[in-house]
A and B are shown apart, each in its own frame.
Chain A
């Protein structure tokens, strides 16, 4: 006991000092709390020669080289390679941006899925905008490691959908880490998870409401009114009682937090866009959006993205009208379309999910190239998370989040062979390099021994 105490005390003293040193932080504490400690792993400057490049920008597949210097993309296609740069001949393999999953519950509904691990949804009130997904993320979820081997370099973890205002989502680098701070995407904006439809009214119907879609809408509006009043008080400066719940909503009204909203039905998404107009905020992305194909032009006009599955549906009434062409139809309407997993298994093969829906879209008469469809895997999710200036495409100056593929990513048989985060190789099939969660230890050794 006595040996532990001295270790703890200096830390709390230090924390108190920091708070005193920065008096301004009080008005904007959310920005400094739980700061990212993400640090890239060591990398080597390398040029990937003879690649089939999908860069997430062009609609064409290009042949060429990719230079990575100090963890950043230096050029894509061709350019000067400094002497002494390591060369890897990828021999015509596909080289793509790392995949970004905008809808994951890895870490907050981790494997094993025991009740004690159910930290993904604060199912105690329809309004829980005071909670943050990052406080429920278990970094030892083996799902992170498997997702990395599927090419996932960035992922967005959201609270569940039982609440009208579910709480803050967090964007993570898929960096093997002991802490969520070690994964947190530096300076990525926070998000607010909201939910439409069946879930809030089912969960709270017998717990004081909302018990109907009418109640859902009333609940959103009542709380935006409160948030606007809180914001006005905050904007005036001076003394005010800090309220975590309203702070998140006020930050949305200030445009600092991006709204990520679970919504299935077309008519309901239009209702939500009207609420956003009424209270002057932006819905960045509708998630699941099973009926987005019915309102593609309206989504395009609102500059609101849709994150969708390739072929999931019929698991509840509001997903009954699922079609396999949802993503390409929304894309063809000129709106920002993307794939998402919401699943610890599909996140490992999001490229196949895109391949399915891309092929179905073209079969229905569209003419979308593979390179164009790739934007559903990295470019558009990066845009919808506010991190497109950092990642999501292979462009000079961006983080070298790169996947080298064995086979075609638009095929059942294509799999990542190398995955890089900031130019550092975190998965390499040939050498067997891959992260292993603490949870896998012991079990995993038994598995390897049997092979």
Chain B
């Protein structure tokens, strides 16, 4: 069985992949809520064409066993399309260190759908991503983030101005000049600038306390509640300050990211309708603000009824979303239902941003298993290439490659 599976996967990596018809014998089909059922499925060019309890294999189809069929994964935090390599230099648009703007800087303007990492990361079953800028010097506001699909096409920005990104906690403290109090003062003042936009800026372009006119205008969408505010924060006390701000500004739609100590205040987070993006593998006191980090943080959120999504917030830079499913698997180890873990990297974040794209991923095993990988994918009926620069390098240097020409000619 395993050999058959692997052979099929190999064939699919060839350019003829798009002409493939797969017969998935006894596939595990996962619905939007993450629930599993078993069915026979016919997949043509990455798209499901038939599905029933029992089907017979169409003529010419490759029969594959042990597969899972799911929707695509949604990476709830990434810098995809903003940089080619992580370390500095031109071509890294993740943060602007010396600009005079902040909220009005749009990640959608920086986003490059042709970035090589879009194709690389898509091979891990990721079809959609939140793309967030990071704050530079001087401001806790990183800019306005975007939601993209990983087709690599020029129309892949789905929500260009999707949320406003803010860094609080230790990062925000640095940006604001050295204390949490300074960061919170800047945050509250900016909310007042945006809320009072017409009064403050109509006569005076620099009538705001901390935001320029263009930044206040950009922030106004978030203070009205039209788009969410994504705030990076880890310490429980800092989360409580954000809850204070929310209580004073009920229109704010807040998502916190990081949330290492969220378990301490999970009930308050739930009661104030604050959503959370967290990493179930975060358990070290890497900073004093995450001194309470623990693996079962996710279970406290689940029990409290918090609406949460799962991300890789660890040390991998632009390629982080490639291991999204491994991080969701970590939540299952802590006791989270498989369905909820899968939803936390797919339908949950997709629903937050109103993404209704129809996606299919055929996997050669449980998608949360580190040993599994997609063998076919489609987005809105369009087959997605199962090749990438990584796979091209793999094929050129594969020890089983019998091509004896010099590597550059292979």
Contact = CB atoms under 8 A, between A and B. Distances in A.
Contacts of A111: 284-286
B397 A294 contact: yes
B74 interface: no
Contact of A412 (B84, B263, B314, B326): B326
B6 interface: yes
Interface stretch (B60-68, B315-323, B343-351, B353-361): B315-323
B188 interface: no
A447 interface: yes
Contacts of B397: 293-294, 323, 329
Chain A's interface size range is 35 or more
Given A112-B285, A413-B332, A415-B333, A296 B399 contact: yes
A322 interface: yes
Contact of B322 (A311, A325, A366, A450): A311
Given A332-B399, A446-B292, A314 B283 contact: no
Nearest to B282: A345
B393 interface: yes
Contact of A360 (B85, B283, B373, B393): B373
Nearest to B365: A359
Contacts of A415: 333
B86 to A, nearest CB: 4
B264 interface: yes
A325 B315 contact: no
Interface of B is mostly: loop
B285 A439 contact: yes
A410 interface: yes
Contacts of B368: 412
Given A314-B317, A316-B85, A112 B399 contact: no
B333 A329 contact: no
Given A293-B397, A413-B333, A112 B287 contact: yes
A311 B319 contact: yes
B28 interface: no
A142 B6 CA distance: 41
Nearest to A345: B314
A313 B319 contact: yes
B372 interface: yes
Interface in B245-267: 263-264
B217 interface: no
A311 B393 contact: no
Nearest to B283: A146
Given A112-B288, A411-B370, A439-B285, A450 B400 contact: no
Contacts of A313: 319
Interface of A: 111-114, 142-143, 146, 198, 293-294, 296, 311-317, 319-325, 329, 332-333, 343-346, 348-349, 352, 355-356, 358-360, 362-366, 410-413, 415, 439-440, 443, 446-447, 450
21 contacts: A111-B284, A111-B285, A112-B288, A114-B287, A313-B319, A316-B85, A316-B86, A320-B85, A329-B394, A329-B397, A348-B283, A349-B281, A352-B370, A356-B371, A359-B373, A364-B400, A366-B399, A412-B326, A415-B333, A443-B292, A447-B292
Given A112-B288, A146-B283, A329-B394, 7 more contacts: A316-B87, A319-B85, A348-B281, A358-B371, A359-B371, A413-B329, A450-B263
